[in-house]
Amino acid sequence: MTENDPSRRQQILDAALKVFSHKGFASATIKDIAKEAGLKSPALIYWYFPNKQELLVSILMELVPILQQVATSPQTLMEQPPEETLMMLAQSFMKVFGTPLGGQMLRIFLSDIGHAPELEERVAGVQKMMLTFFSAYLQRQIDLGRLRPCDTQSAARIFIGSLLAYVMSSEVFHWLREGLADPQIYARQAVETFLEGMRVRSDE
């Protein structure tokens, strides 16, 4: 049993997260990370991690539970009416990706997931599952007559996309932050717009 100091390990991971999100995986050097972590020698990193890629993998590993956290207790959400479920979903989304941590994660994910192929598969699986779940939920609500019939695959992406735009504006295209509303306000408006847009039309 090798008893690696867990705090030192985390310290290195925190530094790596920061450096990766700023320079990208390929441009970030072990030296950069060591300096950011306040280590006197880059060699120490190799006591806790076998190589540079494992740093990336360890960071992105946390993305799976984070993503799943967005869809808390899907069973419960599945039964609620759209007003409740969509708002819950939007708020989870904002809570997770609205933080600096979430933003850094997203940036690393967008830029460097290709450098961790085995994780790409995992995360892809989670994403697909979530989208499928959400589509199924929308279909259910349509069947119940609570939403108007349409292609649920598209509808799911439209809703998620409207939320994604907020995170992209605040964390990726940081020059679009100007004039950006509060995450809560934005989430409410996104939900409201989508919900109204999906209402069954009594007229015509």
Half-sphere exposure of 175 (CA within 13 A, CB side): 0
Q: Is residue 42 involved in binding DNA (CB under 7 A)?
A: yes
Q: Which is nearer to a copy of itself, 11 or 111 (CB)?
A: 111
Q: Considering only 51-59, 84-92, 96-104, 125-133, which stretch makes contact with DNA by CB under 7 A? A: 51-59
144 binds, among a copy of itself, DNA, none (CB under 5 to 8 A by kind): none
Q: Considering only 44-52, 105-113, 128-136, 170-178, which stretch makes contact with DNA by CB under 7 A? A: 44-52
Q: Considering only 49-57, 63-71, 122-130, 151-159, which stretch makes contact with DNA by CB under 7 A? A: 49-57
What is the distance between the alpha carbons of residues 10 and 119, in angstroms, rounded to a whole number?
Answer: 20
Amino acid of residue 88: M
Q: Is residue 18 involved in binding DNA (CB under 7 A)?
A: no
Q: Is residue 10 involved in binding DNA (CB under 7 A)?
A: no
Q: Hey, which residues between 92 and 151 contact DNA (CB under 7 A)?
A: none
Token representation of residue 155: 């509808």
Interface with a copy of itself by CB under 8 A: which residues?
23-24, 26-27, 110-112, 114-115, 124, 127-128, 131, 150-151, 153-155, 157-166, 168-169, 172-173, 175-176, 178-181, 185-186, 189-190, 192-199, 201
Interface with DNA by CB under 7 A: which residues?
1-6, 8, 28-31, 39-44, 46-47, 50-53
